[in-house]
Amino acid sequence: METITVALGERSYDILIEHGLLDRAADYLAPLARDGHLLVVSDEKVWAALGSRLQAGLRGVEAVPILVPAGEASKSWAGLQSVVDRLLEQGVERRDKIVGFGGGVVGDLAGFAAAIVNRGCGFVQVPTSLLAQVDSSVGGKTAINVAAGKNLVGAFHQPSLVLIDPSVLHTLNPREVRAGYAEIVKYALIEDADFFAWLEDNGAKVLAGDAAARTRAIAAAVAGKARIVAEDECETSGRRALLNLGHTFGHALEAETGYSDRLLHGEAVALGCVLAFAFSAERGLCSATDAVRARAHFQSAGLPTALGELGLEGRGERFAAHMEHDKKRAEGRTAFILARGIGEAFVDTSVDLADVAGFLDRVQ
């Protein structure tokens, strides 16, 4: 078992990573049950695929499922209200630990509901998608999407435990695995050039489901995020903003495609990272070689690397308009995560959106 600690003083918590961990869920979740019951927020797809396995792993503790439809649309005011209403119907108490069992949408909903119901109660993340395992389940960011943009309403609310079982990923289709892999590559591009080189050699094994390679990649990504979160939990110093590499471009791409299945979040992050490196190279911040290398790796993983692949070329002004609603915007400036090279990301608040629009009109 890999154990990684997010060091936040009294709110520190462990992330446990092990194949088959779900089958021993009782070891970690049974002590959190009240009257032999655990409130489990999940979605209909995940529960149909893995609910019986979780219930068996709880060994007599009853999982009480609170289900939402699968998909990004559930990450909304209506989805949040549904979850909160069901929790209250079940008599949730402040000392309870709500279990978020699913992908990023479920984790965000469960975490946000836990942050506000009864003025705050605890929760545990049991992520079932690769993207959630390496990104959204760690760090305490919870949110819903609103008309103005993605993740604009939410709270920082840390889980008390994260249980990651890579064996559940067999339920994902290849596209979902690739989308999660994009977030793994993102961590390497931020501050770990050696890890990026390892991914260039072993990424195909990670994508194919090799147990050792997948566990190492998940652990390395999670450890990278845990370090940054411990240094800047609520994005007050700028350090945590590095985790948004690819996201300023990516969120604009998602908005332009209507937050639909046309472009999954991880796919948007992959293309966003490619654009961030290309923009950095155009501004003379990093070498063209590093920008090409980043693009080539995402391309080798079967992820989108060009606006033209999605029919989104020539929309610079529209993308810039989406970026004006970015939640990281401060004092009228949008924070961009750019790069001086692979493993050398940094925050730049001096970027003019007109320059970004022009770049996006030119780039292929």
328 is catalytic: no
Q: Which of 10, 89, 119, 170 is catalytic?
A: 119
Q: Which of 150, 214, 216, 240 is catalytic?
A: 240
Q: Which of 251, 322, 327, 328 is catalytic?
A: 251
Q: Which of 97, 141, 214, 297 is catalytic?
A: 141
Cβ count near 211 (within 10 Å): 11
19 is catalytic: no
225 is catalytic: yes
Which candidate, 114, 247, 228, 95, places its Cα nearest to that of 182?
247
Phi, psi of 63 (to 5 degrees): -85, 125
Residue 220 tokens read as 């390395």
DSSP β-bridge partners for residue 102? 127
37 is catalytic: no
Q: Which of 72, 244, 256, 328 is catalytic?
A: 244
Q: Which of 191, 233, 235, 267 is catalytic?
A: 235
Q: Which of 150, 186, 225, 327 is catalytic?
A: 225
Is 168:22 a contact under the CB 8 Å cutoff?
A: yes
Q: Which of 97, 157, 247, 322 is catalytic?
A: 247
240 is catalytic: yes
DSSP conformational letter for 34: B
Q: Which of 72, 183, 256, 267 is catalytic?
A: 183
CB environment 25-54: b (16+ within 10 A), e (fewer): beebbeebbeeeebbbbbbbbbbeebbebb
Q: In angstroms, what CA-CA distances link 1 with 4, 9, 164, 241, 295?
A: 10, 23, 10, 29, 33
> How many angstroms separate the first and last alpha carbons of the chain?
44
317 is catalytic: no
183 is catalytic: yes
Q: Which of 157, 214, 265, 327 is catalytic?
A: 265
247 is catalytic: yes
Which residues are identified as catalytic? 119, 141, 183, 225, 235, 240, 244, 247, 251, 265
